[in-house]
Amino acid sequence: MSENPTVDSVVNWVKAQVGLGGPVKPGPVMSVTPPIAVGVAPTTLTLDKPSDTLTAVGVLPGGTYSWTSSAPGVATVTMSSADPTSSKAAVQPVTAGTSTITVTYTVGGRSASATSIVTVPVRNFIIVFGEPGTAASGHNVGGLFNLAAQTHLKELKANTPPAAGIPATLPSDTITVSIIHTVSDLVSKLSAGNVFYLAYFGHSWNDTGHVGALDIGQEHVADSNLTIGVNTPGDVAANTAPSALPKSAFLPNAIIFLFGCRCAWGTGSIAEQIHTQLGLTVFGYDNSGGSIFTKDKTLGHGGRAVTQADQSAKNISGGDVWMVPWDGTPHFKSF
Amino acid sequence: MASGLSKAVLPGVMLGLLATSALAFSQETAGQRTTAPGPQTARRIVDEIGLVKGMPPKEGERQTDPHALAIVELGKAAGPFLVAKLTDASPSQVAYLYSYAIGDLALALLTDIYKPSSWPFPDTSSKLPEKYGDYRDYVEFVHSPGGRKRLRQSWRRFIRDQGAGRPSAATPGR
């Protein structure tokens, strides 16, 4: 955008001649004033990272830049650098929505402006945890799945994830934690749409010659396992295949992390099944053992191997808790 | 753990023993022939409990380890031999939340076979202390003096009242 003071001078002179202005003056002096203009790049921006940069260039040197956001509640803008010929500004997301970022360039009392449309996308981070397990299974974890899920929530918000591959969160992202009892429950949570990240904490297994499963519900009841394993004729339909998961609920580059026993171990793991179904990157532990819970962040982040003391630790109630494999150094495998 | 690709992994150890053991016996009942293992065969299969490498994480799911499946498919014939192992605190190959002793494996398999309404004391003679509200209550109990013996007593009474040796239906699986 630009303005031309020469045209203004002519207009003022005309007004004066017709009595709309002040005293009649001599005719205008036709001087050529260089036009002022400013450009910004990019002109549209999808803001899917903690900060991005807009660059403005004014065509006349020596001016000053100022930046504003039409919706600071969606995206903020802060000038990060300026010199006589250009300026950079940092834009940061606040909530999902659209904001027009305007840069104004001023030289000698004249100014020009340009805009960039910034879109902060809707992204849902969904953390779910399964039922704790019955006492008679010997695998009742009480509230520990919930505690591990809450710790994950805290670490996602602080952008201190326990493993590589977990996406960074933005202030504009929505992060939820909830219990699920069935595969249908999981599908219901996914129906929020725009799922950018899914994490599961719960029981799971895989074994040689079989196919893996998420044992979401603690009872052998209908729809309680996510697996391609077929149901035994005459038995309850406990197994629901990953084809029940709605691919359309996920953003194209969504990531899934499975915190459970053998989720990516062996052949036919549940991580592989979900990847095959959804075409998304799915991570799971590929350690061969079961799981334990730990209060040690280094272990929870895969920074060391499990010790016998970790395996027999009982004081793991309350506070931050991580769910890690029973043996070795916690290691994720992705499909 | 799902066994959908093969309805059941053939419990090779069991089949092998059945095929070669002279102790297996047959019964003819109303024209229906059923084969059940004799006590010595059951004992030999249960004695291989230390070969079990994994257990399903969830009650009611079919065993996926062939040795565990072989024991469960013995049904109640395995009961007395499993009860005898309840006090065996030597380590097994199974670890899921805690390191399973042989006695813990025996309890898991007994539970799978009998599906008692009260656990881990099927005769309802006692209850686990509720300190943690999860598996740690069991672990602490069996590590307490006399814990495993109390379990064994409870299961002995329960099986005596149930009547050992009757076959039970195998757990359905995926």
pLDDT tens string B52-80: 998 888 877 888 899 999 999 999 999 99
Confidence tier at A253 by pLDDT (50, 70, 90):
very high
Show the tokens assigned to A274: 């979900």
Confidence tier at A318 by pLDDT (50, 70, 90):
confident
- Identify whether B142 is part of a domain: yes
What pLDDT was estimated at residue B26?
36
Q: How far apart are the first and last CA of chain B?
A: 8
- Identify whether B67 is part of a domain: yes
Superfamily of domain A5-16+25-120: Immunoglobulins (2.60.40.10)
pTM of this structure: 0.80
The percent of residues above 70 in pLDDT, for chain A, comes to 90
Which CA distances in Å does B126 have to A105, A141, A299, B119, B139?
A: 82, 21, 37, 9, 16
How far is residue B97's CA from residue B20's CA, in Å, rounded to a whole number?
37
How far is residue B36's CA from residue B67's CA, in Å, rounded to a whole number?
17
* pLDDT tens profile A59-79: 888 899 999 999 999 999 999
CB-based contacts of B11: which residues, under 8 Å, 6+ apart? B66, B67, B69, B70, B73
Q: Does residue B83 contact residue B156 with C-beta atoms inside 8 Å?
A: yes
What pLDDT was estimated at residue B23?
35
What pLDDT was estimated at residue B57?
81
What pLDDT was estimated at residue A83?
81
- Quick check: B143 contacting A, CB < 8 Å? no
Its domain, for residue B51, covers 12-24+35-162
What pLDDT was estimated at residue B16?
40
Over residues A2-21, mean pLDDT: 37
What pLDDT was estimated at residue B52?
94
Confidence tier at A26 by pLDDT (50, 70, 90):
low
What's the number of domains chain B is made of? 1
Are A142 and B65 in contact (CB < 8 Å)? no
* pLDDT tens profile A91-143: 999 999 999 999 999 998 999 999 999 999 999 999 999 999 988 888 899 99
- Identify whether B130 is part of a domain: yes
pLDDT at A269 over 60: yes
Domain borders along chain A are 5-16+25-120, 124-334
Phi then psi dihedrals of residue A323, to 5 deg: -105, 120
How far is residue A37's CA from residue A1's CA, in Å, rounded to a whole number?
6
What pLDDT was estimated at residue A20?
41
Are A143 and B133 in contact (CB < 8 Å)? yes
Please report, in tens digits, the pLDDT of each residue of chain B (174 residues total).
444 333 333 334 443 433 333 333 333 333 343 566 788 899 999 999 999 998 888 877 888 899 999 999 999 999 999 999 999 999 999 988 888 999 999 999 999 999 999 999 999 988 898 888 899 999 999 999 999 999 999 999 999 987 654 445 445 444
How far is residue B59's CA from residue B77's CA, in Å, rounded to a whole number?
21
- Quick check: B4 contacting A, CB < 8 Å? yes
What pLDDT was estimated at residue B173?
47
Are B96 and A206 in contact (CB < 8 Å)? no
Over residues A258-272, mean pLDDT: 95
List, as ranges, residues 197-226 from A with C-beta within 8 Å of B: 203-207, 209-213, 215, 218-220, 225
Taking alpha carbons only, the member of A264, A256, A302 closest to residue A286 is A264
pLDDT at A19 over 60: no
Q: Does domain A124-334 have CATH number 3.30.70?
A: no
Question: Are the folds of A5-16+25-120 and A124-334 the same?
Answer: no
| Better-scored residue on pLDDT, A85 or A1 | A85
What pLDDT was estimated at residue A30?
65
- Identify whether B54 is part of a domain: yes
Taking alpha carbons only, the member of B75, B68, B65 closest to residue B1 is B65
pLDDT at A314 over 60: yes
What pLDDT was estimated at residue A138?
81
Q: Does residue A218 contact residue A137 with C-beta atoms inside 8 Å?
A: yes
List, as ranges, residues 229-288 from A with C-beta within 8 Å of B: 229-232, 234-236, 238-239, 261, 268
| Residue in A with minimal Cα distance to B173 | A232
- Identify whether B132 is part of a domain: yes
How far is residue A72's CA from residue A119's CA, in Å, rounded to a whole number?
12
A283: left (phi over 0), alpha (psi -120 to 50) or beta: beta
A·B CB contacts under 8 A: 156
The whole-angstrom distance between residue A103's C-alpha and the CA centroid of its chain comes to: 28
What letters, b where the CB count within 10 A reaches 16 and e where it falls short, cover B57-90?
bbbbbbbbbbbbbbbbbbbbbbbbbbbbbbbbee
**Average pLDDT of chain A to the nearest whole number:** 89
What pLDDT was estimated at residue A174?
96
What pLDDT was estimated at residue A257?
98
The beta-strand segments (E) located in chain B are 25-29, 32-36, 91-96, 98-101
The whole-angstrom distance between residue A21's C-alpha and the CA centroid of its chain comes to: 59
A-interface mutation test, from B1, B104, B117, B124, most A Cβ less than 10 A away: B1
- Identify whether B106 is part of a domain: yes
* pLDDT tens profile A183-212: 999 999 999 999 999 999 999 999 887 899
Show the tokens assigned to A233: 């004729």
Residues of chain A positioned with their CB less than 8 A from the CB of B95: 289-290, 311, 326-327
pLDDT at A282 over 50: yes
How far is residue A279's CA from residue A115's CA, in Å, rounded to a whole number?
37
| Residue in B with minimal Cα distance to A240 | B174
Show the tokens assigned to A318: 């309350």
How far is residue B144's CA from residue A172's CA, in Å, rounded to a whole number?
52
ipTM over 0.85: no
What pLDDT was estimated at residue B35?
63
B-interface mutation test, from A131, A134, A137, most B Cβ less than 10 A away: A137
Nearest CA distance, A129 vs chain B (angstrom): 15
Beta strands A195-201; A124-129: pairing state: parallel
Taking alpha carbons only, the member of A178, A137, A159 closest to residue A261 is A137
